Structure 1
């Protein structure tokens, strides 16, 4: 399990020494528990419904979660972490702004396409949609989402010398956050990997407009 998930699960767990075990169990029970959401709805279903859906993992989940919101949040965080942790790792590898942005866009597309093709594809959509109707889950999602945006902003700040005007950082950040959100929508609509890469490449022309020319860097 990637390190970024450890503090999240520790904050939700009464047994902070075993976050890796908890993450593994969340993955194992996700399908059956989300089926409960779909059939009964988040408001109507109870923790007992979730416990029953966990099968052989019931005792462990019952020990660690007492509310359905914490349980749903743990699954949501597990999913989000699989996206954001990879993006953070990817962006940290690059010392050139264009290369960093390009790598993040490509990696995001690959992750989302792989999720779409996995056995969890429909479940991710359910988790995502749940945040639209539940304020607690939306708040947790927003908090984690902002952490990802903050990391993206730091890369722009670190490499601001490559821009004609460092004051354009916020403008570019918002633009690429919109691009990433748009790519996610297109993934859910079934667009191909190749087509998504083309859209990502098109967005890089915007960055070129704000970057210094080679002669400006010398």
Structure 2
């Protein structure tokens, strides 16, 4: 079982049994992994959630960063970024994984450390995006447009982690 399928399986168990009622044994069994091995890798349900959130976040931001990096002008880079976001959304819907990713993000809201980790990951990605847009500053009429272009990403619902506490 690959990592993504393992995390999807864990989310299904957490949804069906509930966070409090599910056990590490339930998760390990659903994944077809001996419990001892599973516990050594993740240590707790929270460890599974943290690992899954980090894995998905890195997967999608890597994809977005690759798309935007392939373009030498601002218009093409922003267009590629937006089209990639749409592609990811459609792929998640088609594979019925949109619930898994959203559930993991919502589970992270239950824990301050997870929220802080997500805040850090989003801030780092926002910084990378801002840096890429800044590379095109000569194409902009006004340097303040850098903030305007990156504001959309910065102000998406995921940027509100801190305010959901």
Q: Tell me which of 37, 41, 45 is aligned to 1:68.
A: 45
Per the alignment, residue 123 of structure 2 pairs with 146
The two structures have a TM-score, normalised by structure 2, of: 0.81
Aligned-pair CA distance for 1:59? 4.5
- Please report how far the alpha carbon of residue 161 of structure 1 lies from its aligned counterpart in structure 2 after TM superposition: 1.2
State the TM-score, normalized to the length of structure 1: 0.63
Q: Secondary structure at the match of 1:84?
A: helix
Q: How many residues align?
A: 157
RMSD: 2.3
Q: Deviations over 1:36-85 (max 9, x none)?
A: 32134334433333233332354542221212222111111222222111
Find 2:82's aligned residue among 92, 105, 112: 105
Residues 136/45 of structure 1: CA separation in 2 closer, same or farther (3 Å cut): farther
- Structure 1: tracts of 5 or more residues without a match: 1-23, 183-218
Work out whether 1:45 is the aligned partner of 2:35. no
Q: Which residue of 1 aligns with 2:163?
A: none
* Equivalent-residue separation in structure 2 for 1:56 and 1:68 (angstroms): 15
Query: Once structures 1 and 2 are overlaid, which stretch shifts more, 78-87 or 118-127?
Result: 118-127
State the match for 1:129 in structure 2.
Answer: 106
Hey, what does 2:93 align to over in structure 1? 116
Corresponding residue number in structure 1 for 2:32: 55
* Distance in structure 1 (CA, Å) of the matches to 2:24 and 2:70: 42
Q: Which runs of 5+ in 2 are unaligned?
A: 158-165
Question: Contact 2:13 / 2:22 at 8 angstroms: preserved in 1?
Answer: yes
Give the number of the structure whose alpha-carbon radius of gyration is greater.
Answer: 1
CA distance in 2: counterparts of 1:54 and 1:162, whole angstroms: 50
Once residues 31 and 169 of structure 1 are traced to their aligned partners in structure 2, the CA distance between those partners, rounded to angstroms, is 37
